[in-house]
């Protein structure tokens, strides 16, 4: 079995209860950091307000901020335009994941290391790629669009830097998360994507200590895992009820990862950190 992929599903309305753009940005920063800390491979944004108008603007904002945060700083100016939604991007914390290297000097590059890059021009020898050092690397492959982002491996250093394309799955360590805004409900997401193991977090769920052994049994053979989280104003039971669905019937486990909570409510970003921490400790992914 290949490396297990861990996805989390968060609602488009996750920042709807936060009025100011600065605080919205800060909240997304916490979510992105939590995802990176616990090596989440994919963040999926689902529509959680069916029949109340599509949440495209909310989902677009969450997607933009998470994608900006995940992009190495040396590529952000090439991939993102100045716009109001990024006005407070400066409050986003650095991820410091392996795909965000601190080295900015070509002389310190090593053959075999991985970098993220963006196609900036074409020459007779191939494409030139910005990899975050003083001069671009040469990719001896053509037919790539300008501003295309690629994962690369350095194959030659010195006066002429050369790189080759690699798939994220080929990189032997955590390489950040991807962001996918789904224009569908959580129920449809679970049905369409066919995950091997789906965990729903809920205050109305089994205490994790009572089900962790059963989860671990499925975890061992699961290749693609989804952990779903509710919205600021509604839990997952209510969200899927809009679709005429019973949460217990569409997921493998409904888990309360914060039993005996001391507050009336737990915010989505708080539940995300707590759940990933507990499950990581118990399952050791």
What is the DSSP-derived secondary structure letter of residue 67? H
DSSP characters over 5-34 = EEEEEEEGGGGTT--SHHHHHHHHHHHHHH
> What average pLDDT does range 70-83 have in this prediction?
96
Residue 2 confidence (pLDDT) above 80 = no
Nearest CA to 45 out of 70, 8, 95, 92 is that of 8
What is the DSSP-derived secondary structure letter of residue 237? H
**pLDDT > 90 fraction of the chain, expressed in percent and rounded:** 89
Residue pLDDT, tens place only, 191-239? 999 899 999 999 999 999 999 999 999 999 999 999 999 999 899 999 9
- The label of the residue with tokens 């486990």 reads 253
Per-residue pLDDT band at 14 (split at 50, 70, 90):
very high
- The label of the residue with tokens 């677009």 reads 60
Residue pLDDT, tens place only, 93-117? 999 999 999 999 999 999 999 999 9
Residue-level length of the chain: 285
> Cα–Cα distance between 188 and 123 in angstroms, integer?
45
Domain with CATH 3.40.1280.10 in the chain: 5-96+183-283
What is the DSSP-derived secondary structure letter of residue 2? -
Residue 265 confidence (pLDDT) above 90 = no
What is the DSSP-derived secondary structure letter of residue 225? E
Q: What is the pLDDT of residue 284?
A: 80
Residue pLDDT, tens place only, 231-254? 998 999 999 999 999 999 999 999
Q: What is the pLDDT of residue 53?
A: 56
> Cα–Cα distance between 47 and 29 in angstroms, integer?
20
> Cα–Cα distance between 26 and 33 in angstroms, integer?
11
Q: What is the pLDDT of residue 56?
A: 82
Residue 55 confidence (pLDDT) above 90 = no
Q: Which residues pair with 130 in a beta bridge?
A: 118
Nearest CA to 157 out of 109, 217, 86 is that of 109
Helices first, then strands: H and E counts in the chain:
8, 11
Domain with CATH 2.40.50.140 in the chain: 106-168
Quick one: fold of 106-168?
Answer: OB fold (Dihydrolipoamide Acetyltransferase, E2P) (2.40.50)
Contact predicate 175/97, CB 8 Å: yes
> Cα–Cα distance between 159 and 217 in angstroms, integer?
52
Average model confidence (pLDDT) across the chain: 94
What CATH number has the domain spanning 5-96+183-283?
A: 3.40.1280.10
Q: What is the pLDDT of residue 108?
A: 97
Q: What is the pLDDT of residue 11?
A: 96
Per-residue pLDDT band at 54 (split at 50, 70, 90):
low
Q: What is the pLDDT of residue 161?
A: 98
């Amino acid at each position: 079995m290949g490396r297990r992929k861990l996805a989390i599903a968060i609602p488009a309305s996750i920042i709807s209860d936060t009025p100011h753009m600065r605080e919205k940005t800060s909240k997304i920063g916490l979510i992105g950091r939590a995802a990176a800390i616990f090596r989440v491979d994919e963040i999926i944004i689902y529509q959680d307000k069916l029949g109340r108008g599509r949440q495209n603007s909310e989902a677009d904002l969450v997607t933009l901020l998470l994608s900006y945060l995940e992009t190495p700083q040396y590529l952000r100016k090439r991939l993102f335009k100045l716009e109001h939604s990024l006005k407070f991007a400066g409050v986003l914390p650095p991820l410091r994941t392996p795909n965000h290297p601190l080295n900015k000097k070509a002389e310190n590059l090593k053959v075999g290391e991985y970098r993220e890059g963006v196609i900036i021009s074409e020459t007779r020898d191939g494409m030139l790629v910005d990899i975050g050092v003083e001069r671009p690397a040469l990719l001896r492959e053509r037919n790539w669009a300008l501003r295309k982002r690629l994962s690369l491996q350095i194959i030659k250093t010195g006066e002429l830097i050369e790189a080759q394309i690699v798939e994220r799955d080929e990189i032997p360590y955590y390489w950040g998360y991807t962001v996918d805004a789904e224009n569908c409900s959580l129920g449809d997401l679970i049905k369409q994507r066919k995950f091997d193991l789906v965990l729903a977090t809920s205050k109305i769920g089994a205490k994790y200590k009572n089900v962790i052994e059963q989860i671990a049994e499925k975890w061992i053979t699961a290749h693609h895992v989804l952990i779903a989280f509710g919205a600021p104003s509604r839990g997952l039971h209510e969200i899927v009820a809009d679709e005429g669905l019973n949460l217990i019937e569409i997921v493998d486990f409904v888990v309360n990862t914060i039993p005996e909570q001391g507050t009336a409510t737990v915010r989505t970003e708080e539940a995300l950190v707590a759940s990933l921490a507990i499950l990581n400790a118990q399952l050791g992914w």
